[in-house]
Amino acid sequence: MAYHLSTLFLILFFLIILAAFFAATEIGMMSINRYKLKHLVKKENKQATRVNQILSRPDRLLSVVLIGNTLANILASTIATLIGQRIYGDAGIAIATIILTLVILVFAEMIPKTFAAIYPQQVAFATSLPLQILQLIFAPLVYISSSMSNGVLRLFRISIDKIQKEFLTNEELRSVVHEAGGLLPVEHKSMLISLLDLEQATVEDIMIPKSDIVGIDIEEPWSEILYQLETAKHTRLPLYRNSIDDLVGMIHVRDVLNLAIDNELDLKSLLKAADEPYYIPEATSLNIQILNFRKMKRRSSFVVDEYGDIQGLVTMEDILEEIVGEFTTDVAALSRDITPQSDGSVIVDASLTLRHLNRLMGWQLPMIGPKTLSGLIVEHLGYIPPAESCLTIENYRMEILRVSDNTIKSVKMFKISKKRK
C-alpha cells in the first residue's frame, strides 16, 4: 500500500511538471520577440527556425498546448482524488481538491508563466523540439480540434490562412528605438529618430530663406563677379539678373576653376557652364526630396510657393544635417546666428529658423505657422515691433534689439522657468 501511494505521488508530481511545461510553452512561444526571431532565422539558427515553423500555425500550437495541459490537469485531479481517499477517506476528496488547486495555481501556472514571460526566447527555444514531437503524437487530436476551431472561426469570417503580418507604424518604430536602451549609442538613436522625422518635415522647414541666399548678379561689373567667385564660401552659387527672382542657373566652383585653367573664364562661358535651375514645391517632404536629389543627380534646388515665386534654397547637406546634426566647421557663421551673453541670455539672428534654433538651444519654441523667429514674433504681436520692445512667448522672454527694412534683425532672448500654480 505504501508503495502504491508513492507511485501515485510520483505520477502526480510528473503530471504537475507536465502542466507547468505546457503553461510555460504557451507564454514563451507567444511572447517571443518576432523581430529578433526573424533575425535569427536569417542567420540560420536551428532553434529559431524550428520556433518560426511552429508559430506559422498558431492554431496547431495552441491545440497541442491546450490538449496536453488539459490532459495533465484532468489526470492530476484524478490521481489527487485517489491519494486523498486513501489517506483521509471521503473527506480526502475535498482536501485533495483544495491542495491540488493551490499547487497547480502556483507551481503549474504562475511560476512557469512568469518565468516564460521574463525569458520568452530561452523558453521557446528549449521547448520547441519537445513541442514538435508532441505535435506528431497528438496529430489526430490536433487535426480534429484545429478543424473544429477553424470551422467556428470561419462562421465569423476569420480565416487562419490570412494571418495578420506584423507591421510597425512610425510611432511604434520610434518607441522601439527609444526602448533599445544601452544597445544603441545616443548618437545612433538620434540619427534613427531623425530619419523617422524626415516624413513629417518639409523643405520649407529647413530651407535657406530667399533673403539669405548668396549668389552672383551677372549684371554686376566683371571685376565684381570675379571677386565674388574668388571669395565665395559655397561650392555652388546661383546666377541671377538684378534679383534672385530672375534666376539664370547654378554654377559649381569646380567648373569655374576648369574654365580659369583653360583661360576661358568670361561671362559667356560662365553662363554656358551653369546648370538649369531646379525647382521644388515648398510642401515637399524631406524623405521625398532626398530621393528626388538622387534621381535628378542634383544636390541643391530652389523652393517655390504655389505661385512659382522663389521662397528659398535647400541642399542635400541641409537634409543630411537633419539626420546627423550640424557638421559645419564654420564657427564664425554659428556665432553670428547665436551669441551667448554673460547674463545667460543669447542674441539671436531673427532670420534663423525656429527648427534650427530649437535644435541648437534645446528649446521648444512653437513651430506651427511661421518658420523663422522674426515671423513668430510678428505673428504673435500682429505688427512689426520697434526696437527695444519686449515680449514673452510661452516661457521665452524676448527683447527686440534691431529692426530695419520692416524686418526684425536681432533679438535678445532667454528661457524663463514656468511658474507653479
CATH number of the domain within which 374 lies: 3.30.465.10
The neighbour count for residue 88, using CB atoms within 10 Å, is 13
Judgement on whether residues 397 and 340 belong to the same structural domain of the protein: yes
Judgement on whether residues 225 and 249 belong to the same structural domain of the protein: yes
Does 265 fall in a domain? yes
Per residue in 83-131, pLDDT tens? Answer: 888 888 888 888 888 999 999 999 999 999 999 999 999 999 999 999 9
Judgement on whether residues 210 and 283 belong to the same structural domain of the protein: yes
Judgement on whether residues 11 and 151 belong to the same structural domain of the protein: yes
Per residue in 38-85, pLDDT tens? Answer: 889 988 899 999 999 998 888 888 889 989 999 999 999 999 988 888
Does 170 fall in a domain? no
Give pLDDT, residue 412.
94
CA distance 243 to 211: 10
Does 175 fall in a domain? no
Give pLDDT, residue 159.
64
If you search the block for the grid coordinates 510642401, which residue do you land on?
A: 283
Judgement on whether residues 317 and 343 belong to the same structural domain of the protein: no
In 179-315, which residue ranges form alpha helices assigned H by DSSP? 186-197, 203-206, 222-231, 253-261, 267-273, 286-296
Does 391 fall in a domain? yes
DSSP codes, 245-284: EEEEEEEEHHHHHHHHHTT--SHHHHHHHSBPP-EEETT-
Q: Which cell numbers in the block locate residue 274? A: 551653369
| pTM, to two decimals | 0.57
Strand partners, 413: 346, 398
Judgement on whether residues 360 and 247 belong to the same structural domain of the protein: no
In this structure, what are the phi and psi dihedrals at residue 18, rounded to the nearest 5 degrees?
-65, -40
| Positions in the chain short of pLDDT 50 | 1-3, 164, 329-335, 420-421
In this structure, what are the phi and psi dihedrals at residue 407, rounded to the nearest 5 degrees?
-135, 135
Using the 3D structure, point to which of 89, 123, 156 is the last residue of a domain: 156
User: 238 and 250 in contact (C-beta within 8 Å)?
Assistant: yes
Judgement on whether residues 13 and 150 belong to the same structural domain of the protein: yes
CA distance 16 to 100: 9
Q: Which cell numbers in the block locate residue 347? A: 542674441
CATH number for the domain harbouring residue 241:
3.10.580.10
If you search the block for the grid coordinates 530651407, which residue do you land on?
A: 207
Judgement on whether residues 213 and 151 belong to the same structural domain of the protein: no
DSSP state of 202: B
Question: Within 13 A of 267's CA, how many CA atoms are on the CB side?
Answer: 13
Judgement on whether residues 319 and 342 belong to the same structural domain of the protein: no
Residues 6+ apart with CB under 8 A from 402: 387, 408, 409, 410
CA distance 276 to 263: 24
Nearest CA to 174 out of 198, 199, 192 is that of 192
Give pLDDT, residue 248.
92
The neighbour count for residue 361, using CB atoms within 10 Å, is 16
* Enclosing domain of residue 380: 331-415
CA distance 18 to 94: 23
Give pLDDT, residue 35.
80
> How many domains are there within the chain?
3
Give pLDDT, residue 251.
92
In this structure, what are the phi and psi dihedrals at residue 346, rounded to the nearest 5 degrees?
-135, 145
Residues 6+ apart with CB under 8 A from 121: 28, 32, 33, 36, 37
For the chain, the residue count is 421
